[in-house]
Amino acid sequence: MDETTAELHKLISQQAAIAHFGNFALREPDLMVILTEAARLCAEGLSVPFCKVCRYRAAENDLLVVAGYGWNPGVVGHVVSRADLTSPQGRAFITGNPSICDDVSREVDFELPSFYAEHGVVSTIDVLIKGDDLPYGVLEIDNDQHHDYDQHDIDFLTGFANVLAEAVATSTRTQVLNESVNQMRILVEEKDRLLEQKNTLAEELQHRVKNNLQLVYAMLSKQLGDTVDPFERKGLSAIARRVFTLAQVYDHLLGREMTRTTDFGSYLKSLCASLADIQGSANDEISLTCTSDSLSLDLDVVTALGLAVAELVANAYDHAFPDGRGTITVSALKQDSEDARAILTIADNGKGFSINGGTKRHGVGLVRRLIEQIGASATVVSDQGTVWTILIPTPGQAAS
């Protein structure tokens, strides 16, 4: 093989080594593995026994050997050179240009670390490894023999340095991303912990409020049983019913996160079932049925509507059926229109009552105030039976 053919073969091998290393660096996530492999390939590609990667440390203003090939223990990770013109790698770092030293013993301005003499280093080439703000450091090959390096050798080493610069930038971005992800994970875990704590406290609060309301309801029920006067009994009964309705709200909320909305449909069915149990014991031939769509409403709206339904159902049980027989229906349905509002209907097939004249039905005024309070509107028709129709503004809708 003549000299020209050998040189061509060397160039092809060097270009193949750079391409292979580029593919390797793209796949390998560990920067230290990339740097170490670069040192090995550079040494082999230039047929030298030693190669090292030096990282610049701004605080110390020096160059630390962070990866290498061929060196004795104690060099990689320990040896430093000043980042100035007193060393081959310092000169390349300061000037930004490749630094070629054919014989380090002739460089009188150099203050070389002892490991150069210990390894018999005679000649070196150093090229800069670029960075975003500051250069990352220097890539250096070291030979224990005198050698005249040419531009092809510099180009080969520079190609590796450019791949390393991109690998360093990718590693830095990955590290920042991982730190951001870890920080986000910590924040999410803290948020989950606080939410769990909040939900635990909220559920405990719901339990206590519910238990207290049930205790008050039990005391009122006992007092009601001991009261003979019919007017006092009606007053106590109305208060007990309202306390019971409030307790039902908290009973419905138990086990759920404390949010500003809840499913009114589910609550309404539970409320009507409880009202039927309470009233049905003395009115076996009066039936109460309930149907409802799923309606997500504000808690204040749900509470007000629950009190209104309880009042109207109780009035129907007490006054609508002189003969003790009849049907009460409660329904809450969504409207299919652009001005979507829910329709709550409380109806009975009883005797009806005079809307404009005097009425024995207690709580009607309270019902109207509750409805106005939540921005709803109500109409009542009472001739052959009574029908209350309440238009409820759903979230994002205003009452007209």
Per-residue confidence (pLDDT) for residue 355, from 0 to 100: 62
Sheet with 286-292: list strands edge to edge.
286-292, 326-334, 341-348, 385-393, 377-383
Pick the CATH number of 261-400 from 3.40.50.720, 3.30.70.260, 3.40.50.2300, 3.30.565.10: 3.30.565.10
Q: Which residues pair with 139 in a beta bridge?
A: 53, 127
Per-residue confidence (pLDDT) for residue 3, from 0 to 100: 62
Judge whether 127 and 138 are in contact, CB under 8 Å.
yes
- Number of alpha helices (DSSP H) and beta strands (DSSP E) in the chain: 9, 13
Judge whether 46 and 157 are in contact, CB under 8 Å.
yes
Nearest to 333 by CA among 352, 324, 322, 346: 346
Please state the domain extents for the chain: 3-183, 261-400
For residue 352, with 0-12 CB atoms within 10 Å meaning exposed, 13-18 middle and 19 or more buried, which class applies? middle
Structure tokens at 211: 């238990």
The most distant pair of C-alpha atoms in the chain lies apart, rounded to whole Å, by 127
Per-residue confidence (pLDDT) for residue 356, from 0 to 100: 58
For the chain, strand residue ranges (E) read 50-57, 62-69, 80-82, 99-101, 123-129, 137-143, 261-263, 286-292, 296-298, 326-334, 341-348, 377-383, 385-393
Per-residue confidence (pLDDT) for residue 302, from 0 to 100: 87
- Measured CA to CA, the distance from residue 134 to residue 128 in angstroms comes to 11
Nearest to 141 by CA among 231, 77, 45, 73: 45
CATH number of the 3-183 domain? 3.30.450.40
Instruction: Return per-residue pLDDT of the chain as tens, 400 residues.
Output: 566 676 677 777 777 878 888 888 888 888 999 999 999 999 988 889 999 999 999 999 999 999 999 999 999 999 888 899 988 899 999 999 998 888 888 887 888 888 888 999 999 999 999 987 789 999 999 999 887 788 888 888 998 899 888 888 888 788 888 888 888 888 888 887 877 777 666 666 666 666 666 667 677 777 777 777 877 777 777 777 777 777 777 666 655 555 678 888 888 998 898 888 777 656 678 999 999 998 888 888 888 898 899 889 988 988 889 888 899 999 998 876 555 678 999 999 998 877 654 454 556 788 888 899 888 999 999 888 899 999 988 765 544 3
Reported as a single tens digit per residue, the pLDDT across 119-155 is 999 999 999 999 877 899 999 999 998 877 888 888 8
Per-residue confidence (pLDDT) for residue 400, from 0 to 100: 39
Per-residue confidence (pLDDT) for residue 230, from 0 to 100: 79
Per-residue confidence (pLDDT) for residue 360, from 0 to 100: 47
Per-residue confidence (pLDDT) for residue 76, from 0 to 100: 93
Per-residue confidence (pLDDT) for residue 398, from 0 to 100: 43
Per-residue confidence (pLDDT) for residue 174, from 0 to 100: 80
